[in-house]
Structure 1
Amino acid sequence: MSILTWIILTSLFGGTLSVLFAAALTLNTRASWVQMLVSYAIGALLGAAFLNALPEALELSKDPARMTATVLFGILLFFILEKLVLWRHCHAEECEAHDPLQGTALVAAPAQDQHDHGRSGMMIMLGDTFHNFVDGILIAAAFMADVQLGIVTSIAIIAHEIPQEAGDFLILLNSGYTRRQALLFNLFSSFATLLGGMAAYFMLQDMNHLIPSLLGLAAASMIYVAMSDLIPGLHKRPEIDATIQQVALITLGISSIWLAGTLFAHHA
């Protein structure tokens, strides 16, 4: 199967699967499932970053100092981008970001009136569409470096997209959209992953030297999302049984990425 076919299939399948899974969780209001997925997503993101993306980037770059600087720059860049989103959303007295139940979704509620005539929902969709486009670029860069790395990166992205999409779904419902509208908007937004992947594939054909840097940024993105957006929410459940469950699911996420990488490496 060609690299482009891999990119198209994983972008379409990953985006559609995460939206449908998130919709099923949200419609059935299984909050505990979303919390469990957040813990698993943390492990998947960290596993993909440290066991796959970063080692591959270091191997391709041949300059460890430059690559670690790229990762450091990426973490700072994602922090700044997130601040810009927060400044745009948090224009009222009450603003809560990164609800642990909702993954990386942003929740912005006007101080005076909970009903905002769809404004917060539409802003979330615009932000999520851009996020999905960037995910597509990172997936394409990973596949162009190595098929096994592309598959593992796609698994990690799907894992963290499910709780995020669940959060987006809830925000759209709270913003006044119907369930059908929320599902269609999320599905439409997910196609940005395919657009980003195809755009990156054709651009990187003549710019292979950018692939190591993009892999470094992919690692930075995964590390930042896991450490900044997802892990703080877990600390709001300090009970010993909740902590044991969280550690077990994080370990499961890391192990599944390691196992996937090992299996695909053997079949490559």
Structure 2
Amino acid sequence: QCFSSVELFAIHNLSEGSAVGHSEFKEFCPTILQQLESGACASENLENEENEQTEESRPSSAEVWGFGFLSVSMINVASLLGVFIVPCTEKAFFRRVLTFFIALSIGTLLSNALFQLIPEAFGFNPQEDYYVSKSAVVFGGFYLFFFTEKVLKMLLKQKDQVRLSRGCSERCSGGMQQEQQGWLTPVNPPVPQHHHGHSHYGPEALPSKKDQEEGASQSACYWLKEVRYSDIGTLAWMITLSDGLHNFIDGLAIGASFTVSVFQGISTSVAILCEEFPHELGTQGQELTAGSWCALFFNFISACCCYVGLAFGVVAGSHFSANWIFALAGGMFLYIALADMFPEMNEVSREDEQNGSTLITFAIQNAGLLTGFTIMVLLTMYSGQIQI
């Protein structure tokens, strides 16, 4: 413990106004030597110097608001581009491009949470605490199970296809033998007869194949065909509210990050940008069913929530500890990456996998995941050397 001058005087039963002579100074000497040898005051002075350097390295209010507003605006403009890309959704290459961007968002969000947000919430410094390698192992555990699961599914799928092809060939050969021997059964099942001997089901009473297909499509794709305008408005508002809350937390994380350092804010903004672009493609595709102007209106409302979150994040990070906001944002990033974007990536790539492009889809997913991981690792490792 580093004693102050008042505490030193009190230890030797002296008041603050007491005169210190030769005899009193001799009594002080052992205590002063103990303080010098223990290094208690030196460590406290070093901590004070580090705090002063941290305060000096913090960006000014103008930089925080300027960079924060610019980052949020760039993210909103990038998400707005989804409105103009929606007409390209019918192209053959669109699903593969979207798969890459979704995988990229998973890699950046997960890596940003593991390498920056969660360690920052615990007060770790990547240049001093050397946690980057352990965070990389955490990501490696996720990637190992992802890689193993995909490889096993591809191998089992090929095995099932071989088994089905053999069974089909056996059934086809058996069917040809039955046809040659005249063992053909009627295709249409008999119409049920009433006990009086006549049928209560006329040809017009039985549902046709066309009616069955229309009924199935209407029940399965209710939001895609023959939707009332009021239902479209309700769906769009529900999407806007959930997306607005999502954008509010994004803005909160960006604002708090810029109060710590400009570099931290840019890293968080890059992760959110990689996540917002593929996410907005899905929501705007449903909002566009209400009309292009309505889609722009709903997107504008959602974007305003991001600016509101930015303001709250800057105020909270400037006057309170930003670690709590980083903890909240880290948990949100983990949820979005693993519980939201990961199933969406599997859903988007399912059609390509069914068409026999499993290996190409797997390569695209790996490229996106590893690209996002590499970006965040480089930003974290060289954060001290990058000057902005």
Give the TM bin, normalised by the shorter chain: 0.7 to 0.9
Q: Which residue among 66, 70, 74 is the counterpart of 1:9?
A: 70
Which residues in structure 2 correspond to 1:31-46 (within 5 Å)?
A: 31-46=95-110
Question: Quick one: structure 1 residues 149 and 36, their matched pair in 2 at CA, closer, same or farther if it must change by over 3 Å?
Answer: same
Is contact 2:258-2:314 (8 Å) kept? no
Tell me the TM-score normalized by structure 1.
0.73
Separation of aligned partners in 1, 2:246 and 2:85: 21
Structure 1 equivalent of residue 370 of structure 2:
251
Aligned to 1:127: 242
Would the aligned equivalents of 1:19 and 1:186 in 2 still touch at CA under 8 Å? Answer: yes
The equivalences for 1:29-108 within 5 A come to 29=89, 30-59=94-123
Match of 2:302 among 174, 189, 201: 189
What is the alpha-carbon distance in structure 1 between the residues aligned to residue 279 and residue 381 of structure 2? Answer: 28
Contact 2:113–2:334 at 8 Å: present in 1 too?
yes
* TM-score using structure 2 length: 0.52
Following superposition, the deviation at residue 4 of structure 1 comes to 1.9
Structure whose CA Rg is larger:
2
How many Å separate the matches in 1 of 2:86 and 2:225?
A: 26
1:170 equivalent in alignment to 2:285: yes
Tell me the CA shift for residue 117 of structure 1. 4.1
**2:333 matched to 1:222?**
yes
Asked if 1:148 is matched to 2:263, the reply is: yes
Q: Which amino acid aligns with 2:296?
A: L
Contact 1:148 1:265 in 2 (8 A): no
Secondary structure of 1:205's counterpart equals helix
Evaluate the alpha carbon distance shift between residue 267 and residue 213 of structure 1 in structure 2; reply closer, same or farther with a 3 A threshold: same
- Paired residues, number: 221
Structure 1 111/18 Cα, relative in aligned 2: closer, same or farther at 3 Å? closer
Change in 2 beyond 3 A, CA 1:167/1:4: same
Unaligned runs of 5+ residues in structure 2 are 1-61, 130-218
CA contact (8 A) 1:60 1:212 kept: no
The corresponding residue for 1:27 is 87
State the 1:259 CA deviation: 2.9
Alpha-carbon spacing, 1:248–1:173, altered in 2? closer, same or farther (3 Å)? same
Q: Which amino acid aligns with 1:23?
A: V
Give the whole-Å Cα distance in 2 for the aligned partners of 1:39 and 1:111: 26
Which residue is 1:18 aligned to?
79
Contact 1:129 1:192 in 2 (8 A): yes
Aligned twin of 1:203: 316
Report the secondary structure of 2:227's partner residue.
coil
What amino acid does structure 1 have at the position aligned with 2:283? D
Q: Give CA-to-partner distance per residue, 1:2-32, whole Å, 9 cap, x none.
A: 2222211111221222222x22321322343
Q: Measure how far apart 1:152 and its partner are.
A: 0.8
Unpaired stretches in structure 1, ≥5 consecutive residues: 63-93, 97-108
> Secondary structure in 2 aligned to 1:59?
coil
Q: Contact 1:140–1:198 at 8 Å: present in 2 too?
A: yes
